[in-house]
C-alpha cells in the first residue's frame, strides 16, 4: 500500500522553503571542488538577502500559525 505524501510538512515552514529555493538556485549547476567553496557561496547568498525579506517571511509564518509574535 502506498500512502500519499502530504503537500507540506508541518515541520517545514514556508520561510525554510523560501531559503532552500534561494540556496538551490545559487548552487545549481555549479561544481565545487572544496567544501569551503560551498560554504562561502551559500554564506554569500544568505548575506545578500535583505533583512526585511527575512522579517516579512517570519511575520507571515506567525500570522499563518495564529500567533502574534513578530521578530
The pTM assigned to this predicted structure is 0.57
For the stretch 20-68, pLDDT in tens is 888 888 888 989 999 999 999 999 998 998 888 878 877 766 555 555 5
45 near 26, Cβ under 8 Å? yes
In the block, residue with C-alpha cell 500500500: 1
Q: Which long-range contacts (CB under 8 A, 24 or more apart) does 9-14 make?
A: 13/61, 14/57, 14/60, 14/61, 14/64
Please check the confidence at residue 70 and state whether its pLDDT lies above 50: no
Amino acid at each position: 500500500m502506498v500512502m500519499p505524501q502530504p503537500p507540506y510538512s508541518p515541520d517545514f515552514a514556508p520561510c525554510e522553503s523560501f531559503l532552500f529555493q534561494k540556496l538551490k538556485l545559487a548552487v545549481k549547476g555549479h561544481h565545487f571542488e572544496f567544501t569551503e567553496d560551498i560554504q562561502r557561496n551559500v554564506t554569500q547568498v544568505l548575506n545578500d538577502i535583505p533583512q526585511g525579506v527575512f522579517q516579512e517571511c517570519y511575520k507571515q509564518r506567525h500570522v499563518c500559525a495564529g500567533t502574534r509574535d513578530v521578530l
